[in-house]
Structure 1
Amino acid sequence: MNDAKQNLASAVREARTELGLSQEKLAEILNIDSRTILNIEAGRGNPKFEKLYPLLTYLKIPAGKIFDPTYKDESPNLQKLLSMQKDCTEQEAADLIPMVRYLLELLRK
């Protein structure tokens, strides 16, 4: 269980700083106490699901990164691309598919 706490601490700190957010600002966005963020990043405490779920969702941290000991991070660029894809509407995704296919064909030549 200690590994999961450390994985959570590292993942939250990394994702938060990547977004340029302070602990206080992240807590404000998620409407939780800033001490909760502080304790999570310090590997202390045992956050309840009601706090953990919005935190992981907002920071786009895959649960496997925290709980699966065999989890392997994808390359940073692939992660960014997948994250952008997840933010698309169904129509945007449908419009992008032919463009992405075309660009991949160009890149692979």
Structure 2
Amino acid sequence: MQDIKKNLANAVREYRSEIGLSQEKLAEILNLDQRTILNIEAGRGNPKFEVLYPLITYLKIPSDRIFYPDKENQSPSLQKLLATLNDCTEQEANDLLPMVRYMLDLLRKQGNPTL
């Protein structure tokens, strides 16, 4: 259980810092006590689901990052891209798909002139 707390602590700290939020600001946004964020990032306590769910979804932390940190994961950039796409509606995803395919094709041709 301690490993999961450590994984959660590291993930919350990393993703919070990445978007430039202080512990205080994150607590304010999620309507939590600042000590709650502090304790989670310190690996202390046993946060309830009612605290974890908004925290993890707001920061868009992939569950693998917490429960399977040693698993060979995708790169952080790919994880962020997938988290962003997971936040799309079905219609948005449908509209984005041709654009993403087009952009990938351009990037791949740029990276490999022989294509």
TM-score range, shorter chain: 0.7 to 0.9
Corresponding residue pairs, total: 109
Contact 1:65/1:72, CA 8 A, preserved across alignment: no
1:107 positional shift: 3.0
Q: CA deviation at 1:17?
A: 0.4
2:95 counterpart SS class: helix
Structure 2 gaps, min length 5: 109-114
Matches within 5 A, 1:5-84: 5-68=5-68, 70-84=70-84
Q: Structure 1 unaligned segments of length 5 or more: list them.
A: none
The one-letter amino acid of 1:82's match is L
Rounded Cα–Cα distance in structure 2 between residues aligned with 1:69 and 1:28: 28
Percent of paired sites with the same residue: 72
The range that moved more, 96-105 or 68-77, is 68-77
CA RMSD across the alignment: 1.6
Q: Aligned partner of 2:67: which letter?
A: F
**1:87 is aligned with what amino acid?**
D
Q: What is the DSSP-based 3-state SS (H/G/I as helix, E as strand, rest coil) of the residue aligned with 1:45?
A: coil
